[in-house]
Amino acid sequence: MFKRILIANRGEIAVRIIRVCRELDIESVAVYSEADRDSLHVKYADYAYPIGPPPSVESYLAIDRIIDVAKKSGAEAIHPGYGFLAENSEFARRCKENGIVFIGPSPEVIEQMGDKVMARAIMKVAGIPVVPGSDGVLSSEEEVMQVAAAIGYPFMLKAVAGGGGKGLRLVRSAREIASAYRAVRSEAASSFDDPRLYIEKYLDRPRHVEVQILADQYGKVVHLYDRECSIQRRHQKIIEECPAPALDYKLRRQIGRIAIQGARAVRYVGVGTLEFLLDRDKNFYFLEMNTRLQVEHAVTERVVGIDLVKAQIEVAAGAYLPWRQRHISPTGHAIECRIYAEDPDNDFMPSPGKIEGLRLPEGLGVRNDCGVYEGAEVPIYYDPMIAKLIIWGENRVEAILRMRRALREYQVRGIKTNIPFHQWILRHPRFMAGDFNTGFIDDEYRFMRKEELYPHKDIALASAAIAALHREQERALRLLEKGAAEKSHWREAGRRASLRSVPGFSGRGWKS
Amino acid sequence: MAFIAKLGERTYTVEIEEVDKALYRIAVDGNEFFVDGKKTGLTNYSLIVDNRSFEVDVDISEDEYRILVDGRSYHVQLADERRMRLGGLQSGIQLQGRQEVSVPMPGKVIAVLVGEGDRVEKGQGLVIVEAMKMENEVRCPIAGDIQEVRVKAGDALEAGAVLVVVE
C-alpha cells in the first residue's frame, strides 16, 4: 500500500479523498492555488503545497507543477478526483514517466474514451448499442449533410473532444447545418483545442442512466449497479439517484451486463462509469464512458456499501477485488442533491463570497460531503458546487421525504444557494412519481406558479417587517447614543470649565 | 409602523406594532395575527405564530429582504409607507424607468447580444458573462430601449459592474 498520496484537486472531493487516506493510514498531500490557502482541503491534509495563482490553468491544471510537488513531497501516487486533470491522458502519461502511480486507468484508455468517435467505434465492435450517427469524423459541411440524410433530422452536431455540455448543437433541418457547423467547430477549437466533429441522432428528452464499474488489474470486473441523473439544468446534473427509477429488474440486469462487456472491451482498470441514454421505448444507447470517479459516486456507495475511493486506491496499489458480482446487492435508495453557490431567484447567477453561517443537516440516513466551512470564502475561479447532500432511505419515497427534511435544516448564510430550487424539484409530482427525463427542468420550471412558491407568505412578510422594525429601532438607538454622546461632551466641557474655575476659589471654600 | 411590501407580482400593506417585548401585532392587508418573534442570530429569527414554530433567515441589503422560510426563499422589497407617501414611489419598488443592468459577481464578458438603440423585451438576454466556469446570460429586467452598452466581449468585470443601461 502507498505511504503518501497527492490529491490533485480541491473542494469537497479533495476532502473526500483525504478522509479515505486517513482511514487507510496513508499520508495526504494537498496542493492549493493562491485563492485556496484557507480552503478546507488544505486544513485537512497532512501536507500542503502552493502550486500557483488562482486561475486553474496556472494551478490545478499545471501538470509540471503538480508533478514537481509529487516528487518533492515524496508522494507515490496521485489521485486526480474529478474534473481538472482527471481525464487528461497527458497527465496520466507524465505520472507514469516520473514513476508516480496515477490512480485511474491507463493513459491509453483515457485517450480512447476521451475521443468520442473512437469510444463509439470500440463499443459498437464490443456489441454495445450506440446512438445512431456518423461512423467517423466529419470534416466538411457536405459530409455532415450526407450523413444527416442517412440518419434523419433532428440530430446533434458534436465535438469529438466535447463534454460538460460544451461543443454541441441541435440541428433540426438542413438549413441550420451551416451555422451550427461553424459554431461547434470554433467552440471545439477554442475550448478543447480539437476541431474534429461528428453527428449523432437526437433523442428527444431521453433519460440519463449510468452504470458504475469497478475492475482490478487482473481482469476482474464487477458493476455496482446503476444511477439515474436525468435531473439536469443546462447539461449539468443536479440530482442523482441510485438505483435508477427508470429501470425495471430486467433492464437493470441487462444494462449491468452490457456495461461489464464495455469495460472488458477496453481492459478497464479502476473505477469508471458507462453512461447511457434511455429512450421512451426503453431502448438504451451508449453515450460515453467516464474514466474517473464521478461526482455522484456517493449514492452508489450508500446503496451497495462499498467505499469507491478506497477501492480505487487499493486497486491502484495492486490489490485483488474481493467481491464477486453476486456478492454485490443494492439496499434501499439513495439520492444526492448538489449544492451550488448560485442564485435561483436571479437566473442561477453564480454567488461567490464569504459563508457567514453554515448549518449542515444531520440525523438518520444523512451524509454531507462538504468542501466549505463557516467563515470560508467561495472563490470566483472554480466550479460553484460547494457541497453534496446524500440521503439514504429504505425506499425511494422515504429517501425523498428525508431529503426534503434535510434540505429544510440546511442553512447557508452569506451566499445564495440552489437549495430552494432543490425543494421545488423534490415536491414536484412528476419527480415523486419518477416520471421525468432530461427535459424535466426546461419543461416544468417555466410553468412554476409563483403562488405555489409562497406557502408561508405571511410569515415571510412578518419576518421582513420585524427585521425592518429592528433596523429602524437600531437606527434610532444609534441616533440617541450619538445624541447622548454629544450631550455628555457638553457636560464634560462644562465640568472641566467649572474645575478650571476652582483654583480661583481656592482658600475661600465654604469650609473656611 | 406600516410598510409597503412587494413579493412576486403583488404588493401588500404590512402593519406592525410591538405590543410587548418581542411580541408583535402584524396585519397583512388587514389580516391581523400575533407573532412571538425573537432574534436568535445575526440574520436568524425564531417566530412562533399560534404555537406554530418557524425558523427564518433574513438577509437585508438596502430595501431588499431575502427571507428563507422552510427551505424556500422569499424575495421581498420593503419600503416605509410614510417615506413612500412623502417621496412618491421609490424606484426600488417599481421596476420602471431607467435601469442599470449589472452583475452580482466578478467575471468575464463572453459576448454582448444587444446594441445601443435596440428595443428589448423583458427577459431577453443582454450579455453573456462567464464566472465560476459557467456561462451566464444576463437578462433584461424590463422592456425598453438600450441606452448604453458599457462593456465589450473580453472585458473583465468587477462585482456590481454596470453592463447595460435600459430605459
- The predicted-structure confidence for B79-137, as pLDDT tens digits, reads as follows 887 766 655 444 444 455 678 888 878 888 888 989 998 998 888 888 888 887 777 88
Min Cα distance A384 → chain B (Å) is 6
DSSP-assigned beta bridge partners for residue A208: A277
Q: What one-character-per-residue DSSP string does B103-142 give? A: -SS-EEEEEE---TT-EE-TT-EEEEEEETTEEEEEEPSS
Work out whether strand B72-80 and strand B64-69 pair parallel, antiparallel, or are unpaired.
antiparallel
Provide, as residue numbers in chain B, all residues whose Cβ is less than 8 Å from the Cβ of A465: 1, 3, 5, 14-16, 24, 26, 78
Cβ contact (<8 Å) for B133 and A407?
no
Task: Return the pLDDT at B17.
Answer: 93
**Which of these, A41, A99, A45, A53, lies nearest to A74 by C-alpha position?**
A99
- The predicted-structure confidence for A255-287, as pLDDT tens digits, reads as follows 999 999 999 999 999 999 999 999 999 999 999
Cβ contact (<8 Å) for B72 and A344?
no
Task: Return the pLDDT at A511.
Answer: 45
Dihedrals phi, psi of B48, to nearest 5 degrees: -120, 120
Min Cα distance B91 → chain A (Å) is 18
pTM here is 0.83
Helix boundaries (H) for A31-106: 40-44, 63-73, 89-97
- What CA–CA distance (Å, rounded) separates A364 from A360? 13
What's the alpha-carbon Rg for chain B, to the nearest Å?
A: 20
Cβ contact (<8 Å) for B71 and A467?
no
C-alpha dihedral sign at B93, B96, B97, B103: positive
Task: Return the pLDDT at B91.
Answer: 43
- Tell whether A193 lies on the interface with B, counting CB pairs under 8 A: no
DSSP-assigned beta bridge partners for residue B16: B26
C-alpha dihedral sign at A310, A311, A312, A314: positive
**Which of these, A300, A435, A320, A377, lies nearest to A37 by C-alpha position?**
A377
Catalytic residue status for A292:
yes
CB pairs under 8 A between A and B: 168
Q: Find the residue in A nearest to B158 (Cα).
A: A380
- What CA–CA distance (Å, rounded) separates A221 from A219? 6
Work out whether strand A270-278 and strand A236-242 pair parallel, antiparallel, or are unpaired.
unpaired
- What residue has cell string 429544510? A408
Provide, as residue numbers in chain A, all residues whose Cβ is less than 8 Å from the Cβ of B34: none
Cβ contact (<8 Å) for B8 and A463?
no
Provide, as residue numbers in chain B, all residues whose Cβ is less than 8 Å from the Cβ of A356: 42-43
User: Does the pLDDT value for residue B5 go beyond 70?
Assistant: yes
User: ω into residue A243 within 30 of 0, thus cis?
Assistant: yes
- Tell whether A347 lies on the interface with B, counting CB pairs under 8 A: yes
B141: Cβ contacts below 8 Å, ≥ 6 apart: B95, B99, B101, B122, B166
- The predicted-structure confidence for A465-489, as pLDDT tens digits, reads as follows 999 999 888 888 888 887 766 666 6
- What residue has cell string 465535438? A159
Least CB–CB distance from B134: residue in A384, A463, A470:
A384
- The predicted-structure confidence for B138-158, as pLDDT tens digits, reads as follows 888 888 899 999 999 888 888
Task: Return the pLDDT at B167.
Answer: 86
- What CA–CA distance (Å, rounded) separates A40 from A11? 7
- DSSP state, residue A319: P
Q: What is the mean pLDDT of residues B50-56?
A: 92
Provide, as residue numbers in chain B, all residues whose Cβ is less than 8 Å from the Cβ of A472: 1, 80
Mean pLDDT across chain B, nearest whole number? 85
- What residue has cell string 417599481? B94
Task: Return the pLDDT at A491.
Answer: 63
This model of the complex carries an ipTM of 0.70
Q: Find the residue in B nearest to A424 (Cα).
A: B72
Provide, as residue numbers in chain B, all residues whose Cβ is less than 8 Å from the Cβ of A382: 132-133
Write out residues in chain A with pLDDT < 50, as ranges: 504-512
Provide, as residue numbers in chain B, all residues whose Cβ is less than 8 Å from the Cβ of A463: 37, 45, 47, 56, 58, 65, 67, 69
Q: Is A28 helix (H, G, I), strand (E, B) or coil?
A: strand
Cβ contact (<8 Å) for B105 and A380?
yes
Min Cα distance B32 → chain A (Å) is 10
